[in-house]
Structure 1
């Protein structure tokens, strides 16, 4: 059997990524809902539909600074008591003069009524006088105080916001599963909502394992590897909307690892470990968490998945509370790709977000690339919109293992299990990364 045939046979024994993700995500449930004050709700996901208890605007009001009037008094079809000849050179050949009978600001509350030939000076947000159906902007007048001369007549309804015209009482403001954004907070507040029911942000604990690991602030050397993963994965979990806690480094000590994970179940909705998922002599995480005890399987199942990079992934629960745990590879590039593929969707599901996967687009490939057969590859890439519509995608140098490529990427090019070569000009799938640049 040739080396290629051996590789294909090995790949055929791996679980397809889609099947693996389905089996994992079906075991997770969104966190129980929580009633939060509006000021604390930002960034959470709504647990139920939100309906407007009050209308917005709450009353008829001026949309601009100006003069609230009756349109009949300023329209060209009427020569009522306010009509006067225009000064020479006035656009339109005429102007209207109205008596200013009062001033209304945003804090005004007494109802007032217009009479023919009169108007009120109003500030934006002020309640409209009864009978007013137009607000003439200040700049279209001589800005008079006792009487005002209007040089230009707006259309009926100009400068007026009617009660409930934007959000009537009972209108659906947001559906369950929607992220609470700053603008959505404004909508809720404007319609009289002070509390909303949301899914809490998942508490995610990140643990790096390995005797070889040392903390940041120094360079790696033989026998010592700087702990890249716990810092990067903590940032990735926070970007995904979690409350992320970096525990740090745990040596390959069975009792220390068991004790650490047991302690973390008290404050975690999800635990992410990195390192030790393979089958080598130093892969302690897999050995400990998959060990059979009392005839029962270990709490975490490790699966060889048709994923490149990083085929070995673990998922299960730990502790009496059965807190979910995701075990990612120790190689930094594989750990970050594994996070995108498995841990991030788990966080989104716990948070009640829909959909749980990143958005994707179809893009034209700018160069020919090869891919390992039988594995679904996720490769760092730069995706750009084409003039005239559509997208192009440029694979970044170095392939999926390079941290420099991952740092530069705004997308992950996805090549399916049956793809060994993707030609320039072909159309491929690209996951869009949320990069705040």
Structure 2
């Protein structure tokens, strides 16, 4: 049997990634809805549709600072008592003079009415006088106080915002599943909404395991490895919208690990562990959490998945509350890829977000790459928009295990199980990690 045939045979024994993800995500449910004050709703996902209880704007108002008037008066179509032709302020043109009968600010509340030939000085946001259908900007006038000379006549309706013009009462503002953005908070507030029903942000606890681990702030020594993962995964969970808590390092002590996980179920909607998912003598997480008790399978099932890097992943529940737990590999690159593939979709599902996966694009590959047979590879890459449309993707040096590549990447190049070589110029799938760069 050739080496390639051996590799293919081994890959055939692995669980396809799509099948594994489907089996895991089907076991999760969005968290129960919660009624939150509007100021606390940002970053959550709506649990129900939101309808405007009031119109926006709530009343007819001025959109600019200026003079609220009747368009007939400034267009020359009316010759009411206050109409006075004025000497032209523009060569070849003419101007109009109107009496200024009052001032209106945003806090004005008494209704007032325009009479022919008159106007009100108004501030942006002020209620419009009855009969006004235009606001002349200040800079188009001589800024008079008792009377104003208008040098330029705007179109009818200029500078005016009518009640309900943007959002009439009863408008569907957002559907269930919508992410609450700062702009959406503004829309809710403007239409009189003070509370919304949302899915709460999942509380995610991150635990790093291994006798070899030491905390950050020092360099690694023989027999010691700096705990990279719990810090990185806490940041990743927070970026995914979770309330992330880093517990820190747990030694490979069975009772300590069981006790720690049991304690964390009291404050967690999801627990993420890193390290110990393999089958070696030091892989304590797998040994403890998959151990059969009373003839029953352990609380966490560990699966060899057709994923590169990091084939060994664990999922199950712990504690009386059956809190979901995701077990990721200990190698930092594999842990971060495993988070993207498994833990992040789980967080999104708990939060009620749709879709649960990152957006992806088809991109023109700039460099030929090879990939392990039978494994779905996720490789750090830089994706860019092409001037004529579409995208290009440049694989980053070092492959999927390099932390520097992951730090620089704004996308993950995805190479399917059947792909052993992707030629430059071919079209490939890319997950978009961050479109801000």
| 3-state SS, counterpart of residue 186 of structure 2 | helix
Partners of 1:83 and 1:95 within 8 A in 2 = no
After superposition, give the CA deviation of every residue in 1:328-348 in whole Å (9 maximum; x if it has no partner).
000000000000000000000
| 3-state SS, counterpart of residue 145 of structure 1 | coil
Alignment-derived partner of residue 171 in structure 1: 171
Residues 1:192 and 1:3: Cα distance change in structure 2 (over 3 Å): same
Counterparts of 1:56 and 1:241, CA distance in 2: 30
Counterparts of 2:236 and 2:89, CA distance in 1: 66
Structure 1 residue 434, shift from structure 2 partner = 2.7
Structure 1 residue 276, shift from structure 2 partner = 0.5
> Which residues of structure 2 form unaligned runs of 5+?
none
Alignment-derived partner of residue 74 in structure 2: 74
Structure 1 residue 87, shift from structure 2 partner = 2.5
Residues 1:404 and 1:144: Cα distance change in structure 2 (over 3 Å): same
Residues 1:436 and 1:110: Cα distance change in structure 2 (over 3 Å): same
Structure 1 residue 76, shift from structure 2 partner = 4.3
After superposition, give the CA deviation of every residue in 1:127-165 in whole Å (9 maximum; x if it has no partner).
000000000000001111111111100000000000001
Structure 1 residue 92, shift from structure 2 partner = 5.2
Partners of 1:84 and 1:95 within 8 A in 2 = no
Counterparts of 1:92 and 1:81, CA distance in 2: 26
Counterparts of 2:61 and 2:313, CA distance in 1: 60
| 3-state SS, counterpart of residue 121 of structure 2 | strand
Question: How does 1:239-278 map onto structure 2 within 5 Å?
Answer: 239-278=239-278
Counterparts of 2:2 and 2:223, CA distance in 1: 36
Counterparts of 2:335 and 2:20, CA distance in 1: 17
| 3-state SS, counterpart of residue 287 of structure 1 | helix
Structure 1 residue 183, shift from structure 2 partner = 1.1
Over 6 Å off, 4+ runs? none
Partners of 2:229 and 2:330 within 8 A in 1 = yes
Number of aligned positions between the proteins = 437
Partners of 2:95 and 2:151 within 8 A in 1 = yes
After superposition, give the CA deviation of every residue in 1:226-245 in whole Å (9 maximum; x if it has no partner).
11000000000000010100
Structure 1 residue 182, shift from structure 2 partner = 1.1
After superposition, give the CA deviation of every residue in 1:172-191 in whole Å (9 maximum; x if it has no partner).
11111111111111111111
After superposition, give the CA deviation of every residue in 1:239-280 in whole Å (9 maximum; x if it has no partner).
001010011111111111111100100000000000010111
Partners of 1:86 and 1:93 within 8 A in 2 = no
Partners of 1:84 and 1:94 within 8 A in 2 = no
Partners of 2:140 and 2:152 within 8 A in 1 = yes
CA-based RMSD of the aligned residues comes to 1.2
Structure 1 residue 83, shift from structure 2 partner = 4.8
Structure 1 residue 84, shift from structure 2 partner = 4.3
Counterparts of 2:311 and 2:78, CA distance in 1: 81
Counterparts of 1:132 and 1:192, CA distance in 2: 26
